[in-house]
Amino acid sequence: MTDNLLLQQILKQVNQSDLVSVHRTIAEIIRIINDPSSTAKNLQHIIEHDPPLMGKILRIANSVFYSPRKPITDIQKAVIWLGYDKLKQLALTQKAGEMFFKTTIGLNFSNLELWRHSIAVAQALELIYKELLGVKNDMAYTTGLLHQIGLIALQQAAPDKFETILETATQAEVNLYQTERHFLKFDHGELGMHLMQAWHIPDEIAIAVGYHHFPLSSPKLYQDQVQLLYMADYVVQRLETGYCDAPFPDEIIFEKCRNRHRLAYYDLEAIASRVKEEIDSMKDQGLV
């Protein structure tokens, strides 16, 4: 546990808030995603016991974006039409989305744009693993989707401090995490990491969340995952897809990460462009 008293207070407040019911479902979905022996029935059971979640998934499954031939009226049909992997992503995305709209801060910040950014990074990270590295990583999408969870926790537990940090970062033209460290002695990545650990989310995800702005300082065991997240976040932020909390990225860190994994910049850029097109299409249909 951290010895930062303010960080401890915020963690305690968040874990006593109405996010608790949301995070329990998220943790269960993540457990299913990471369990190779899990089946569609395991996920179906969770979804059907959460009517709002089921409603959101069925609405999206019936949208033009997925173009079903016949109306999808239950989760079993959604599994058949969308596939188990896509249904897992939808369930996680829609449930996580509930956390993004618990609190609203007005100044230069939008929870909706933060959610869009998180979905974009999740998609980009999954594509980097799958298409550039040829690796199937079931935790990639989850990691990208939750990498900004610390911002949600901070704005809910300490809205006044968060608004001051936003205003200061904007006026000083610096990245948000730099201002957080000045005012709080920690940043949203560290807060998110401790929150993930308190929720018993796997370390591969928690550590990536904690160090997503400092990939070269991350523990060696998880450094590859953190660096790949950093690159996914970097290219999405460059395209200005959703909320940008680090408008002044460190080019040297990015190049070190890119060279270590031998990824061509134009390949990363192409993936980000594909993601932007998908997010824009989903925005046009009111899905994000």
pLDDT tens per residue across span 116-163: 999 999 999 999 999 999 999 989 999 999 999 999 999 888 989 999
Share of the chain above pLDDT 70, in %: 97
Angle made by CA atoms 133, 271, 143, in degrees to the nearest 5: 65
Residue 245 to residue 148: CA distance in whole angstroms: 9
Tell me the pTM.
0.94
Flag whether pLDDT at 108 surpasses 70.
no
Go through the chain and tell me how many residues it has.
Answer: 288
In this prediction, residue 106 has a pLDDT band, given cuts at 50, 70 and 90, of low
Flag whether pLDDT at 4 surpasses 90.
no
Of 99-108, 110-119, 152-161, 249-258, which gets the smallest average pLDDT? 99-108
The neighbour count for residue 71, using CB atoms within 10 Å, is 9
Whether the CB-CB separation of 127 and 231 falls below 8 Å is answered with no
**Record: fold of 1-17+106-288:** Hypothetical protein af1432 (1.10.3210)
Domain boundaries, the chain: 1-17+106-288, 18-101
Residue 14's pLDDT is: 86
Residue 193 to residue 199: CA distance in whole angstroms: 10
Residue 196's pLDDT is: 94
Residue 139's pLDDT is: 94
Distance of CA 216 to the CA centre of its chain: 20
Residue whose C-alpha is closest to residue 145's, from 85, 97, 98? 97
